[in-house]
Structure 1
Amino acid sequence: MTITQLTYVLAVAEHRNFTLAAEKCFVTQPTLSMQIQKIEDELGILIFDRSKKPIQLTEIGNKIVTQAKNIVNESIRIKDIVDQQKGFIGGEFRLGIIPTIMPTLLPMFLNSFIKKYPKVNLIIEELNTEEILTKLHNNHLDAAIAATPLEDEKIKELVLYYEPFVVYVPEQHEFSSQKTIDPNQLDPNEILLLRDGHCFRDGILNLCQRRDNIHPPAFEIASGSFETLIKLADEGLGITLLPYLHTLDLNDKNREKLRQFRDPKPAREVSLIFPKSELKLHIIEALRSVINGVVKGAIAFHDVEIISPLSKK
């Protein structure tokens, strides 16, 4: 069997469809089917149960796919070893970033990174945490930047920085007379949240769920952007919480409405995450070095309490 044949097996296992797998592998469907058939004939077993729709892995097929992932990853590692020996940092690198980090962090480091490592073809996708983990598990991303810890045994996490939550308080709100806010003062029923699927939303809910003041809300407004939440707060519909870096781009009038939490400040942990196979680790380390270099001047908070980004269901 060949690495190419194993790659075809992994594509069918992921997409559960020979035609779609062939498209993703840039080969014709008959070619892909023939190569998989050769492996099955060589081993004397069936990897896929073709009688089911969508196609299913057989019991032995599940074990073969697990091993095939290891073999394909290790074959890629050989090129990594050669590149690191040569000191070469280049090639395609696929990076995922969650939506609440992308607009603030990316402009801070992207220009510096591409100037320092011009041979790296950086392909960036904005994805939620669930999508990122799926793509990392299926080798469709090399790394990602997300809120952690994620408690995923297949993923490694390199902490980049800790980003405090900041409260945005409209002028007419009772908090506007305070310099700092205690998390125990928060009424979860008046906090304007991002819509489901955002881990920043889950972090806020986790912060509030430790309190005893949760009641059935009179209404709920969920938006996909912090800008919308700020405008809704200004209309007197509640308060909202923002990540610290996002507050740096607010105008002077809106910055006056910000209130910090008392120490230890509730914060999210932002990390560079990647599969434990550590493929392209030299590029990952280069990326971490550049990000640390540009972020350390913007965030210098140490007395923080990390709030989990995981949804409590």
Structure 2
Amino acid sequence: MTITQLRYVLAIAEYKNFTNAAEKCHVTQPTLSTQIQKLEDELDILIFDRSKKPIELTDVGRKIVQQAKNIVNESDRIKDIVDQQKGFIGGEFKLGIIPTIMPTLLPMFLKTFIKKFPKVILKIEEMTTDDIITKINDGHLDAAIVATPLKIENIKERVLYYEPFVGYVPDDHALSSLKKLTVSDLNLDDILLLEDGHCFRDGVLNLCNSIKDGTIDKFQLESGSIETLIKLSNEGLGMTLLPYLHTIDLNENMQSKLRYFSPPPPAREVSLIYHKSELKMQIIESLHKVISSIIRGAIAFQNVQIISPLPK
């Protein structure tokens, strides 16, 4: 039994297809099939039920896959130990970032991080929190930046910063005369929201549900991006809530529509998350340090009320 064979097993379990798994592992399909056959012969069991389309794991195969994940992770840890001993900070690092954080945070830290750690090959992908959790657990992401707390057993969270919610209120709106907002001023039926699947949307719903019982009414409009929400609000279709970093680069006219909350303002907790196996910790530590140091100059808010992104 070899670690390479176990990596092949994990690839087939994920893709449910020998050809696709072989492409992922950068080997020919006959090579992969031969190695899987050798492993099954050695163990005297079938890991995969090849009669099913797509291929399925057998009962014992599911148990083997769980153990194979542990073994492969631990084998990867050996390289980590050597890298840390040598003080080496480099290699490929796959980072996921949710859509409501990516456009504002990434430009703030990316250039600094690349300059400071030129041997790290960052591969960054924008994706939803649900996709991020799946990919971290499957070993396809090394870390991610998301809204927390998530309270997931296999995933560790390290807070980067707290980002307040800010009201964006068009001039003809009933709340435009207020200098400061309170949570009780909000009316869920009048707030433009991101479409389902965004954790910032869940945070807004949780915030509004804290002052309103019962079922959620139908929203006026939902959008896939914060930029579209701002444009819709400018058309007089309602107010919206923005993460603080999205307000920094707004023009003077848009800045005049911002309404901040009375302290403590509602805020989201933004964290760097990674698997409990703690692989590539030297890069994770470096990433956390760079982002934390940069963000301190942009967000001075500490006395905040954290709004959970967990759907209620």
Number of positions where the alignment pairs a residue of Structure 1 with one of Structure 2: 312
Q: Output the TM-score relative to the length of structure 2.
A: 0.97
- My pick for the range that moved more, 39-48 or 205-214, is 205-214
Q: Once the two structures are superposed, what CA deviation does each residue of 1:106-163 show, in whole Å capped at 9, x if it has no partner?
A: 0000011000000101111011111111111111111000001111111000000000
Structure 1 CA distance for aligned equivalents of residues 190 and 83 of structure 2: 53
State the 1:179 CA deviation. Answer: 1.4
1:81 aligns with 2:81: yes
CA contact (8 A) 2:192 2:240 kept: yes
- Which residue of structure 2 aligns with residue 258 of structure 1? 258
1:184 aligns with 2:184: yes
- Which residue of structure 2 aligns with residue 56 of structure 1? 56
CA contact (8 A) 1:96 1:145 kept: yes
Distance 1:19 1:218, change over 3 A: closer
SS of aligned partner of 1:264: coil
- My pick for the range that moved more, 101-110 or 20-29, is 20-29
Q: What stretches of structure 2 of length at least 5 have no aligned partner? A: none
CA contact (8 A) 1:163 1:270 kept: yes
SS of aligned partner of 2:39: helix
One-letter amino acid of the structure 1 residue matched with residue 292 of structure 2: N
- Which residue of structure 2 aligns with residue 119 of structure 1? 119
Q: What stretches of structure 1 of length at least 5 have no aligned partner? A: none
Structure 2 CA distance for aligned equivalents of residues 140 and 182 of structure 1: 41
Structure 1 CA distance for aligned equivalents of residues 213 and 241 of structure 2: 18
- Which residue of structure 1 aligns with residue 137 of structure 2? 137
State the 1:239 CA deviation. Answer: 0.3
State the 1:218 CA deviation. Answer: 6.3
Structure 2 CA distance for aligned equivalents of residues 247 and 280 of structure 1: 34
- My pick for the range that moved more, 21-30 or 161-170, is 21-30
SS of aligned partner of 2:292: helix
> Once superposed, what is the RMSD of the aligned Cα atoms?
1.3
One-letter amino acid of the structure 1 residue matched with residue 137 of structure 2: H
Structure 2 CA distance for aligned equivalents of residues 15 and 204 of structure 1: 36
1:95 aligns with 2:95: yes
- Spell out the pairing of 1:210-289 with structure 2 (5 A cutoff): 210-212=210-212, 217=217, 220-289=220-289
State the 1:251 CA deviation. Answer: 0.5
Structure 1 CA distance for aligned equivalents of residues 12 and 309 of structure 2: 32
CA contact (8 A) 1:169 1:257 kept: yes
Q: Output the TM-score relative to the length of structure 1.
A: 0.97
Identity %: 69
1:204 aligns with 2:191: no
CA contact (8 A) 1:164 1:244 kept: yes
State the 1:217 CA deviation. Answer: 4.4
1:293 aligns with 2:266: no
SS of aligned partner of 1:88: coil
Structure 1 CA distance for aligned equivalents of residues 205 and 177 of structure 2: 25
Q: Once the two structures are superposed, what CA deviation does each residue of 1:1-24 show, in whole Å capped at 9, x if it has no partner?
A: 111100000001111111111111
Distance 1:202 1:87, change over 3 A: same
Structure 2 CA distance for aligned equivalents of residues 41 and 277 of structure 1: 30
Structure 1 CA distance for aligned equivalents of residues 100 and 54 of structure 2: 35
State the 1:212 CA deviation. Answer: 2.2
One-letter amino acid of the structure 1 residue matched with residue 54 of structure 2: P
